[in-house]
Each structure stands twice: as structure tokens, then as C-alpha cells.
Structure 1
């Protein structure tokens, strides 16, 4: 190491690329300049500012001497509240000896009429009396950081698609209105509006046009909002309005005006005009809600009621004891059902399906039951509708399938018919589990009929076609249940390639005395026979109906008159288990 390097190290210096000695102060000054920051020294006593070489570019001020005096620099600062001098020099009364640090942010006017955000960090030092004498600091450009922060604030407040208030901010506005209403300062209301049939617009025009519709509808509705009201996009196709100083008596007029604003003028989109309507649900505050969540839930409920009526409808929430009782009952039944599932107290009742000519049992339908802890058996009507409403029906279907498989394993002399819900059609776990049992156990598939309700056949035809094909390939047979209740097209029956048609029991009730039912059942049977499909009549209640249905050509009968559901199968072997060949045979 040569003597010059040793000298440089001895004084804390270093060498540049040319071998010249660089002092620490020079190194720091070069680093600050390289990153675009501006160092400065401020002589507070004589109001002088000495700037580093990057200041001109940082501030957008071509002649840096224009801000050589602090008063000139301060004249370009945009800062709310106390001045820069006050914030820096009056922060502490005196310098304890190590200087007093400071940090603040503000905007500087450049030579082009713009404003630039800077971060100002430094430390001031006191004179003999400890009062501010001079300061040394660095300024850094923070425009990009402020843009990011502003964008985050906007995203947290406004909806990206419409530019309206987002759900979070709308809930905050609703909370403020509810608190004010509860304190008696004013009545308020909350409206929830939804674009009708947006899915149809998606299908007909595409998602981009649907987004345009949402934006245009939002613009129209926001144009009717009063000053002080809060309007925003609640979710998807839904908008919310917090109406301050609005009584319940005025809600009808307000809703009608909002609906008319959308209904009476078509929405012009990039692909042409689109006729649009909205429906609304509203709730008066504070009378009908004690919390934000309750207000939102009840507005959703009112909106759901409006949508059930027709397009372009509105409903104002009103309390209902009957509805509250129903909800409480649903909650109790749901709790009871979940407990029964966990305790393995879901059972199967077996109801016989008999040959209309011989009276021999051919099939047993598996009907779900719930056993209470005291051993009493609860019929399906008590809990299945609740399970369907609350999304628990899939759990029930899975358990009934397990029980049916166990029965097939225990009794090789029975043929079972298993009902499934529309939700289960798309349940991959249910399908895979049953398929694995059918693969593992020889002869199971040939002794199992899967019943699908007619409403599922109408609405889920594509998914159902795949379901039917996969289980028929395994050897199962497929029946359409409640046939006639939903008027399934026979083209769908042909597409699905089902094996059996079960006539809805409502057409069998009072069959002997009801000519309309007689005509309908006879027509259904004839049409089914044209497709080579055997039929089953449900809810058969007397011998006269048995005779008439037999004369109509119905092959199989089911009802309490022929056998009530039993919690266990008969001990003896069924005499005539129906075969796939027989099911497909044309009627005699």
C-alpha cells in the first residue's frame, strides 16, 4: 500500500477512480446528488439558504438563486397550518447540544405552474443561547409515493368501475346516518337497488356491455341524489343510497322516481341501446333497524321481495311476526338437523313400489327421516325444505346415499330407488363416492335407481345429461320424479335417456272423481309409452284408483294404500325385483 493511500485512510478519506483523494464530506455530497436529493444549509439568523447541486432539478426551478433566501423559498411552499419556520424552529425551545431533528412534507411550486411533493428532513443547531442558529438537511422528491397513497385511498373509498362510493364507504355513511337517527336528530332511510336481469344482458351482449350498463345506471341514479345523501355501488349489479332527512312516508315517491329514471330512457352502449330496469328494497331508520348489519340484511330482504314480484318493483321493509317466527323455526330445525347428522341419526324409511297387475313389490324407495334423541321419527317435510333453503341438502343426500349403499350390501334381494336434489347433481364428491361403491361391489348398480326431480331436469339439462350418462354407463337406472309438475319437454326425456317416469301425485289425488286429472294422467302415460318408458303413479290411496291407473296402462304404483314407509325392510325376499330389461319393455 503506497503512502498516499495510507494518508487517505488515516484521515478517513478514500480514493476516486483517478487515484485522487476524496474526503468524507465530498463522498456524502456526491451520494446525495446521485440519488436526486438536494442537500442544504440554512442560516436561520441571516435567512440564507445554500443549496446542493441537485436542487434545481428537484424543485423545477431553473435559477436556484431565486430561493437563496428562506423567505423566497417559503413563498413557494404549500402547507396547511403553521409555516415551515414555525414547524422546524419552534418545535423545541432550545438545542440541548446535539441539535434538534425535524421531518415534514409539503409541496413546492415549480417554474411551470406545477406542485411537487418533497420530504424535508434535517437537524437545526442552536447558538450560544440555544435558539435556532442554522440547520442542515436533505430534501427528497416523494411525488410517486403520494400518488400511490392517493390511489390506495381512492381504492379504499371509491368503486373502481363506476367511480362511486364503494361498499366499505357506503356502510360507513350508513353507520353515521343510523347513529344520527338514533340520537333523534333526523329520520333516515337506506335504499338498495339492483339492475334487473343483468345475466340476460351478459348473455345477449357480453360482459363489457353489462359493465357499461352498470356504469350508466349508476350515473343516472347518482344524478338524483341530493346533497348530503351518500350513493355508491354496493356489490355487482347493486347500488345503495343513504338518504338523510327522509321519512318513511316519502320512500314510495323516492323509489318510484329512481325506478322511472332508469326505466323511461334506454341505456346507450357501444353495441347499441339496451332497455334496463331496476328493482329496489328500502328500510326506514331508525325504526326498523338497530345496527348497520341489520339495516343491510332487511334492505336485502325487501329487495328480494321486490324481485320476486316482477321487474321494476320496489318494496319497503315492514316487520312481520309470522316471518320472524318462520326464521326462528328454520334456525331451530337447522340446528336439530346438523346435530342429527353429527350423531348419525339420519335414517331411511322404505316405501314399496308395486306391480300394478300382480301387486308384488318390485322396488323400495328410500325416504329420508330424522330420529330424535328420544327415538321418535321425524318425517322429511319437517326438515327437508329448511335444508334446501339453507344449503344443507347436500349433506342429507350424502348421508342417505351412504345408508342406501349399506342396505344394498346387507340385502342382495332388494332394488332401491334413491332421491337426490338438484344441488347434488353437481356435487363431485357425491358422484365420485357413489361411483366408487358401484365399481367395488358387483351387482349394486343393477339394483339402484336414481330419481331426479322434474324441475332439475328442466333447469339443469346440460349438467344432468352428463350425470345420467355416467351412472347409466355404470349400470344404474334413472327415473324422472314428479313428472307433470313442471311440464318437462319430452325432447329432454329423450336426450336424457331415462328409464322410468314417476307421475306427480297431485294428478292422482281424487283421480276417480276428477276428469281433468284423468285426462292429464292418460295423456302422460300415452306419451311416455311412445318413448318406451314405463310409468309409476304416486300417492295412490284406494282400490278404485288402482283399477283406473291399471286400465290407463300404468305399470307400477306407489302410495300409503299399497304400503306405508317403514323403518326396516321386510324380512322375506321381494318376489319380483324389477330388471332393466323389464323396465324398458313396452306395455302390454
Structure 2
């Protein structure tokens, strides 16, 4: 039983005392689920239990947890099917007095048999203060301190989510810009004290006038904004105006009332709707957000040699030997610093000039390919190139001039085009594959691509979006989803690349899930020339 096989590391009083001072409690657990803590006395103090009375059987421990957290823990323990498998869980835990503590449980299987963990070692870490501090910090970052309404940042996030929801269900979403038009006059007459009182009361009334999931936020000063999915915007505007101005406010100087101006705009993006409504209310073009650093135009960037390639290695998942490199783009700023060119590329797409960037990357990659016949490079091709007939033809013509070098190239298309125009993506894929290139779909599963779209474009490879990859070793849901993607890709003879692999544990679990290739900082950061990856212990060697 686990209690007879405790590691010597858990025994010394010095280690136990140090763990307790740090709010951490080491344990071992056998197949029966009993948690054998190295310092039960310290744990009893933490959970406010009488000396010698603490019970830590699986049922006792999970009895202190919420039902969903209990199921998550059972699933996590059940996922320990090989030596070295581990999990991490954060959950609230009730002490004996019924007070909620917040803990993190981190554990690793050190012995397994028949696909089950027979001995697990781990630690319970108190995170109560951190969680409460984090919750307060997050709340302050997303709310206006005076009115307690969501602030601009929360409006941007919540509005974007509602716009996406409206698009999926076919309901238009609108943003209403609201201004307490006489607030400054009242403040000048009666002082800041009354201003704060009026703002708080107006905010409370606006909030009460909304229906879920609509939201209202304070932007700044007398300016507010509301996003509505389930109300006619004109009706909501009238309801908000009635709520704010319906009652008079009694002051020592008489009765006062707020006045509310409003205007609205369809919500495709929050920034655009805010800008439109700001101009409507203010009669000018004053920006609502701080001016961002100016990006060069495509012509400036090309003429002034501000763009450079960076090469990141991609390795075989099992052997971790180099397979190929992805060519990424870096932009040099006025101070000579290089940074990701992503904002610049987005701006180029908006200006209809991104095809020039794609041709530049192809041109810059050619000397590297000519210098090393073993080198294989993945180049990104934007939707602005593939989706435009003239730009697509020009790009393919440039590829055709490369002759046999095309066999050293993989072209990566963003998932968006596979969704928006699978027919054009399919034609492009067929032509470049006919020239000898491989074809990949980038950021797969970041949007709504189905495997039907994948079949339509005849991709040789899909790149699993990094949001699914980061932390996969500790997330059973991500593991299940990636396993499903790998199985389906294998059925269609499509290879898989996992992006944003940042640590050994993620690399190991991805190899076990059958992913073909891995890319991320764990194997190497982008560099100015193709380079060998870092050589950490591979999953096969570490198993």
C-alpha cells in the first residue's frame, strides 16, 4: 500500500516544515485513493481539524470539494496511465469550519500497472491569498472604480463575444453610445460631490434597464456604451433615457435631472462602432483610444528594407530531429529593433497590399533554398493572395520559375480562407501541389474549419492552433480533442504539426497522442538563419 512505500524525500522534518511554511503539503496516494500526507499535523492546522481527527480517504477529501471539481479530480487521477504522467488542478476546498480555501494539486504517477497508477506523489499548495488577490486585480482591471460598471476593456471583450454570437445565430448586434449631456454643467455649478452621486445613480439605472446578455459600460467621464443582442436598439435607447431621467434628484439647491443623448451603430467590431458613434455624438473625428505607433506602408517597408525573415525549427515529435523550418516575418522599427510583423501584415491585408509581402517572403527564401538542397521551408500565404485571382496567378508564376526548388517548400494557408472560400483555396492547393510544393492549413481549430473543408483543399498537413497545445499535459480536455484531430487527420493521410510547444511535458504528451511534428520555443526561437533545434531529451528516450 502507498503508505508503506513513502519516498525518503517526504520523511525529513526539515522538508515537511519548509513545505508547511510555504503553504504546501506533500502526499502519496495508492490505488485506494488514500492521501498519505507527510505532515498531517500541519495539514490539520490548515484545515482547522482537531489533532488526530483528520481523515483523508478519497471520499473524505472529495467531500470537501464541489461536485464538478470532484469529477475533474477523478478524471485527472484516471488519466495517469504511464510513469511520469501528471496533472494539475485548481479547486476550492472547504475546511472543517466551512470556510473556502483555494488549493492547487499537482501530482505525478511514479508507478503504473495495467494502465493505472499504483503510486502517485504530489503536493497540495494553498493559493487562497493569491486567488483572492488575483480576483480583485482582475475585477479592478475590468471595471470602473466609481460606477462599478464594466470598463472599456471589458466592453471590447464582451462586445466582441456578443457580435460573434449574433453572427452565428443571425441576429444583428448594435452598440449604443450614451452621454450624460448636462453632467459637466451640473458639476461646474454644484461640485464634484454631486457629479459622483449622479454618475453612480445613472450607472445603476442603466444596468437595471438591460436584459441579459446585453451589457453597459462606462467609457470615461459622462460617456457610456451599451451593447444589445436581444433588444431593438431604438427601444433600448428610449428605455435607457427613461431610466436615467425619470426621477428628479433633490439637492439643497432644488430639483435636478440628468439629460441623456444617444446614438447607435451596427456592431461588427467594437472599435469601429465606438468610432462611428463618437463622431455622431461629438461632431468630430477625435479618436477614442490612444494613438498607436504608426506602421509603415508596404511600399515603405519594402523600399527601406524594414522586413527580415526569421526561421523557427520544426522537429519530428518522437525523435525530435529537425524536419523543416517555418519562415516568419520580422519588422524593424525606427530604433532598429526587430519585432513580430503581425500587426503590419494585418494592416497590409486591410490595405489590399499583403500579396506584395507574400512575394517578398518567397523571393527572400530562395537564396537559402539554393544554398542547401536539404533545407525545407514553410512559407505563409495570406488569404489576400489566395483569394484574389490576379494575385494568386502572380504568386504561382513565381513558384513555377523556381523549378525543382518547389519540392523544398511547404505553403501554409490560414484556416480562415478554408472557411470563407474553400473553392479558391482548393484551386490554389491543387496548382501549387502540382508544382511540387506541399500545402498546409495553419491555425487549425482556431475557428470553424471542418474536416470537410480540409478535404476540399487537399492539405498535406494541418497545424494545430497553439491555444489547444499550450498546457496540454495538464488538460485532459485538450488531450482528448487533439487525439480526435490526430485520428481524423490520420484517416485522411494528413500529417499534423503542434504549434507553441513550450515545455518537455507538453512535447511528451503530444508525441504520445500521435502528433507528427512539434514547433515552439522548447525547440528553438526564430533566428535570422535556419538553425538546428535545441536537443532536449526526446519522449522516446525519456519514456
- TM-score, normalised by the number of residues in structure 1: 0.43
- TM-score, normalised by the number of residues in structure 2: 0.46
Relative contact order: is structure 1 or structure 2 higher (C-alpha 8 Å, sep ≥ 6)?
2
The structure whose Rg is larger is 1
